[in-house]
Chain A
């Protein structure tokens, strides 16, 4: 088996961020369900949480359910919206909730990510009515930056690639990596399907792996220019 190249890894990161963002954004619909059924789920990735996440999602999909889309929609609502008003009744998918003492929406974290989005020339679509610090948007932001890094590597623009990777590293450290573990813990508490518990594990594990990757690649990048065609030690 050949080692993945930098391009392979970057493409894989884009795809994984896209998948995660989609699963957090709205409930699983028929199109998404069919796509999940046709997916190859990796095993033995080297990260226990990633493996547990993929295994949980795969096991849910491989197990009979009378009405899986309805069941997943119910669990999505139970997990991310909840039924209480005490601020502790669901795994609220907003960074502000986990980083403000009053667990409110639209706090400082939202302003910070908005600045990061705009600095990258990105704005939310008009159809998005929630805060910009929603987990789906933060993951999608990482997907966009990862895509830019991949394009820069395609064009042999090492400086641009390094710049985009550094942007992601900073965003991961300042935002996603800091608060998502708390949300993942809440997802385990509130969800009742292996699917959403698996999603919590997969996202936690993937963010860890991605953090390690960015740490390694940026150190490598500072030491010596990366040749995109060369095999890479890091696997996702």
Chain B
């Protein structure tokens, strides 16, 4: 009776393709241990310059801040000062990273080093020297409470400083203007707007750029020009976009005069 009834049903077996024993079918197959699970982990050390480059690429829009932080730590700076300097540098701008995270990323990249304050370093050295022979016969006792988080300084590494020293903003500006020759009239309009009293909002710049004949084909929007000018430090954001001293010099310079 039962067999006859079964014969009339769909014989589809969803587990057949998985090759389970018909007498012992369970939904979840046994999980095999990966072959390399217990193998020694090979630590591939990526060179610091590559790590620094990857960090800069991974934090787009913060390149100048990262350069500034590394340069600020050229001779070593207390961590608290560095964090305050980052907040000061960001000012009214926007940075999605906390100062501690920016520093942690630069440390991980090998652009900064952390140096414990002398007393902490001494204590750590003594401790590690005492305890280095492992717990062979460690004297019974207690390690002193640490009390407060250890104070430390950041010092720029040679690899980090190499990135800073490779910066040449003057050359960058010349190259920028040469490559953007076609758009010099638009840059000029934007710089003049931002140089006006109170600067220019994005809406103001949109109004100038959107109907400019040079921006019709290929279509260019205000962001293209703002990003370019900000990249060469010609404008900066401070509640509105304002032309910097560098921007004013450029505006008065040969590049824009010749263009008239």
Task: Give chain A's interface residues, CB within 8 Å of chain B.
Answer: 36-46, 48, 51-52, 54-55, 58-59, 61-68, 70-71, 86-88, 101-104, 189
Determine whether B254 belongs to the interface, using a CB cutoff of 8 Å to chain A.
no
Would you call A71 and B152 a contact (CB within 8 A)? no
Could you say which of A42, A46, A58, A70 contacts B141, with CB atoms under 8 Å apart? A42
B143 touches A41 (CB 8 A): yes
Is A64 a contact partner of B79 (Cβ separation < 8 A)?
yes
Question: Is B104 touching A59 in the complex (CB atoms < 8 A)?
Answer: no
List, in ascending order, chain B residues with CB within 8 A of A44's CB: 135, 137-141
Interface residue from A42, A64, A86, A101 paired with B142 (Cβ < 8 Å) = A42
Give min CB distance, A89 to chain B, whole Å. Answer: 9
Does the CB pair B37–A64 fall under 8 Å? no
A-B contact pairs, 26 of them (CB 8 A): A37-B148, A40-B144, A40-B145, A41-B142, A42-B141, A42-B143, A43-B131, A44-B135, A44-B138, A44-B140, A51-B138, A59-B124, A61-B146, A63-B150, A64-B79, A64-B114, A64-B120, A66-B79, A66-B114, A67-B98, A67-B104, A70-B101, A87-B31, A88-B37, A102-B31, A103-B31
Scan B123-135; emit 1 where CB is below 8 A from any A CB, else 0. 1100110010011
Is B104 within 8 A of A66, CB to CB? yes
Residues A66 and B103 in contact in the complex (CB < 8 Å), given A51-B135, A58-B143, A88-B31:
yes
Q: Closest CB of chain A to B117's CB: distance in Å?
A: 8
A41 contact set on B, CB distance < 8 A: 142-143
The reply to whether B31 and A59 contact each other, CB–CB distance below 8 Å, is no
For chain B residues 49-97, which have a beta carbon within 8 Å of chain A?
79
Is B120's CB under 8 angstroms from A66's CB?
Answer: no
Q: Which residues of B contact A (CB under 8 A)?
A: 28-31, 33-34, 37, 41, 79, 98, 100-101, 103-104, 107, 114-116, 120, 123-124, 127-128, 131, 134-135, 137-152
Minimum distance in angstroms from A5 CB to a CB of chain B: 17
Q: By the criterion CB–CB under 8 Å, are A101 and B30 in contact?
A: yes
Residues A38 and B145 in contact, CB atoms below 8 Å apart: yes
Could you tell me the distance between the alpha carbons of A104 and B146 in the complex, rounded to whole angstroms? 40
Q: Are A39 and B145 in contact, CB atoms less than 8 angstroms apart? A: yes
Cβ of A229 to closest chain B Cβ, rounded Å: 23
Q: Which of A37, A63, A65, A71 contacts B145 (CB 8 A)?
A: A37
How far is B128's CA from A52's CA once the two chains are assembled, in angstroms?
A: 12
Q: What residue of chain B has the Cβ atom nearest to residue A33's Cβ? A: B149
| Contacting residues, chain A, for B120 (C-beta < 8 A) | 62, 64
Closest-by-CB residue of B relative to A186 is: B37
